[in-house]
């Protein structure tokens, strides 16, 4: 009897399990499973539900979420697509379907559903960010910028939008610069700017500047940049010659006069410096707001010459300005401040007088004339007003672009010249590319200001500065990131790499040592540590980290180059040759093959020496193209 009762109970249980659940029960089962993150059970329940009620869009959408959560993307995409056929206005299927397609690099297919998701929920930051990222993936940068602007109007403190906007502007700037790839003059100019920050490449930078000047004789400003570099090398005559050429090209160049004043202060006579400063301030007093530094490393003879020159002149801008600089050089801060205040008052008086007598008029020629005489503000007022109503002459567009860039009105430059087809004048493209990059840095700086305690934010800004060769700024940001997260070895490595590029090898060593303390298996850090030791002449000490880098990563061919240099200096020619031959593939500028040429000659292998010299020359020629591409990519 008991046995029969058990069999009956078992049959009842079987019948109960086999009995179909209702739609409501299946929905409850799926909901509980989703809450418990049991997505497989939820998927099964949703599928059973759809067998009973196939036209419920929300359930198909939930099925898609269950599949997506299991990384079953084909299942998820099918479910979301079916849901949207039934109810196109559902947010979740539009958003997650867009997410799937974006993650798979199917940007064009993702675009429509993400646009719909943003329209359905305009306050959804995640949907808008993904939509903008899709626009960037499609290289629709203009629309991406519009969306970031929309996001920032809704939330002016959205750091992520500033990061995205900065990144997009940087990419646009790179694209604009690439338009100049077939322009030899601008190729030379970008090459000069690329080499300029590096002490060991200054001669190449100067050569590239001379090439740019020869190819772009009517472009203002290049000679001034070249002259500043020549003055850094104490090549005063070359600097003066270039600056006077600039004045023949642009008689109202206040920048050329200011640099001539600096040259006169370094070499004399100081009276010439006073004259050039007086001329410059009467052309563009705004240039001296705030007062730029003159020569903080004056020696006693230079200070005496300045004081003697000022003694023969009445108080005025140039005299007071130089007296302030002289007092500062003499470590008299109170006196320096007193003279600086007088110089600023004289400057402001000159500025007010210029504004009072600025010519009136609203014609194109009047605007051009004002811009030519460096009365940019009034000239721009006229020309921008005209540009909104009519098409300006090509030369006027160039004058307008120069004035906008000179006054730092970079976003206006972008709005004016990016909204139309690509400018036909290469110089406008050049200034536009620079504007995009500088505005990008402004946006990234704003991101850091909004999140000053974010090491990641400082690192991103540091990366941008590093890419633009602004190494001092990069050091500041990387150092801030290190202070916030001192246990992140990659931050120490980035800081050390920047110090290295600045030739501050002792500081670089400290950073690489800290990176290796945190990550003893970092092959690149060992390589850079060895390189820094080679640079300061500690060749024997460099052997250990260089060999360690190769042990950890045999693909680091530059370690072979450095080992070849060390062994060559030690007179171990066979070892040097072995490593240099292994490192020849790392030759970027011809120097490795040239070292091979020297070694082959020493070892009486003339045929190999000739081949190495030829290879060195070929690599050196190719280096110019490589550097240009690198500057465009950054």
Which mean pLDDT values do the consecutive 10-residue runs of the chain (634 residues) have?
Answer: 40 42 88 94 93 92 95 94 95 95 95 95 91 94 91 90 94 86 89 86 92 96 97 94 97 97 89 95 96 80 86 91 89 92 96 82 91 94 92 93 96 85 82 94 96 96 92 96 96 96 94 96 96 93 94 91 88 86 80 81 84 80 57 46
Number of other residues whose CB lies within 10 A of the CB of residue 320: 23
pLDDT at 17: 43
- Structural class in CATH, domain 21-87: mainly alpha
Q: What is the DSSP string of 46-84?
A: HHHHHHH-TT-HHHHHHHHHHHHHTT-HHHHHHHHHHHH
Q: What is the DSSP string of 144-202?
A: HHHHHHHHHHH-TT-HHHHHHHHHHHHHHHHHHHHTTTT-HHHHHHHHHHHHTT-GGGH
Are the beta carbons of 549 and 526 closer than 8 angstroms?
yes
HEC string for 264-306? HHHHCCHHHHHHHHHHHHHHCHHHHCCCCCCCCCCCHHHHHHH
Q: What are the CA-CA distances from residue 389 to residues 74, 392, 397, 403, 410 (Å)? A: 54, 9, 14, 19, 21
Are the beta carbons of 170 and 464 closer than 8 angstroms?
yes
pLDDT at 5: 38
pLDDT at 328: 87
Contacts of 309 (CB under 8 A, 6+ apart): 269, 270, 271, 273, 274, 322
* Rounded CA separation 57/82 (Å): 8
Q: What are the CA-CA distances from residue 321 to residues 283, 327, 336, 389 (Å)? A: 16, 10, 9, 44
Contacts of 535 (CB under 8 A, 6+ apart): 500, 503, 505
């Amino acid at each position: 009897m008991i046995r029969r009762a058990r069999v009956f109970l078992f049959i009842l249980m079987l019948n109960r399990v086999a009995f179909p659940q209702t739609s409501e029960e299946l929905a409850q089962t799926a909901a509980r499973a989703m809450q418990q993150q049991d997505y497989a059970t939820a998927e099964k329940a949703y599928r059973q539900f759809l067998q009973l009620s196939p036209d419920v869009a929300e359930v198909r959408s939930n099925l898609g979420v269950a599949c997506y959560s299991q990384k079953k993307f084909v299942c998820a995409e099918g479910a979301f697509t079916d849901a949207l056929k039934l109810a196109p206005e559902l947010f979740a299927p539009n958003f997650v379907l867009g997410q799937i397609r974006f993650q798979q690099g199917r940007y064009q297919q993702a675009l429509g559903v993400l646009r719909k998701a943003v329209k359905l929920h305009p306050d959804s930051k995640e949907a808008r960010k993904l939509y903008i990222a899709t626009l960037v993936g499609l290289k629709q940068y203009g629309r991406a910028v519009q969306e970031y602007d929309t996001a920032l109007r809704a939330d002016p403190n959205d750091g992520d939008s500033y990061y995205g906007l900065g990144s997009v502007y940087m990419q646009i700037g790179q694209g604009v610069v690439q338009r100049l790839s077939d322009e030899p003059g601008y190729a030379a100019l970008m090459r000069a700017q690329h080499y300029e920050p590096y002490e060991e490449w200054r001669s190449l930078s100067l050569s590239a500047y001379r090439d740019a000047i020869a190819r772009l004789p009517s472009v203002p400003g290049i000679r001034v940049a070249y002259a500043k570099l020549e003055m850094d090398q104490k090549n005063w005559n070359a600097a003066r010659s270039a600056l006077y050429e600039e004045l023949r090209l642009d008689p109202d160049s206040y920048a050329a006069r200011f640099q001539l004043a600096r040259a006169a202060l370094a070499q004399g006579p100081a009276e010439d410096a006073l004259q050039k400063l007086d001329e410059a301030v009467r052309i563009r007093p705004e240039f001296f707001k705030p007062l730029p530094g003159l020569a903080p490393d004056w020696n006693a003879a230079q200070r005496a010459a300045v004081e003697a020159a000022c003694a023969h002149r009445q108080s005025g801008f140039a005299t007071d300005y130089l007296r302030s600089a002289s007092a500062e050089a003499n470590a008299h801060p109170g006196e320096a401040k007193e003279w600086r205040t007088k110089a600023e008052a004289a400057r402001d008086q000159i500025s007010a007088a210029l504004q009072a007598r600025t010519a009136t008029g609203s014609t194109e020629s009047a605007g051009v004339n004002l811009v030519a005489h460096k009365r940019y503000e009034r000239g721009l007022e006229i020309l921008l007003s005209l540009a909104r109503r009519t098409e300006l002459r090509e030369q006027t567009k160039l004058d307008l672009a120069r004035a906008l860039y000179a006054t730092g009105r970079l976003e206006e430059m972008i709005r004016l010249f990016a909204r139309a087809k690509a400018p036909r004048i290469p110089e406008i493209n050049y200034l536009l590319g620079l504007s995009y990059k500088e505005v990008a840095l402004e946006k990234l700086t704003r991101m850091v200001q909004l999140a000053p305690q974010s090491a990641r934010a400082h690192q991103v800004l540091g990366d941008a500065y590093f890419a633009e060769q602004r190494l001092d700024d990069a050091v500041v940001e990387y150092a801030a990131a290190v202070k916030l997260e001192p246990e992140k070895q990659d931050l120490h490595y980035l800081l050390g790499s920047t110090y290295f590029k600045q030739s501050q090898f002792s500081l670089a060593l400290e950073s690489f040592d800290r990176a290796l303390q945190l990550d003893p298996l970092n092959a690149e850090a060992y390589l850079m540590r060895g390189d820094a030791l080679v640079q300061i002449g500690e060749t024997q000490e460099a052997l250990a980290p260089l060999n360690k880098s190769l042990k950890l990563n045999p693909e680091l061919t530059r370690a072979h180059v450095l080992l070849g240099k060390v062994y060559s200096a030690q007179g171990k020619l066979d070892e040097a040759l072995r490593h240099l031959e292994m490192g020849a593939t790392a030759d970027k500028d011809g120097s490795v093959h040239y070292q091979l040429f020297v070694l082959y000659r020493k070892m009486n292998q003339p045929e190999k020496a000739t081949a190495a010299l030829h290879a060195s020359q070929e690599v050196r020629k190719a280096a110019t193209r490589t550097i240009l591409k690198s500057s465009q990519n950054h």
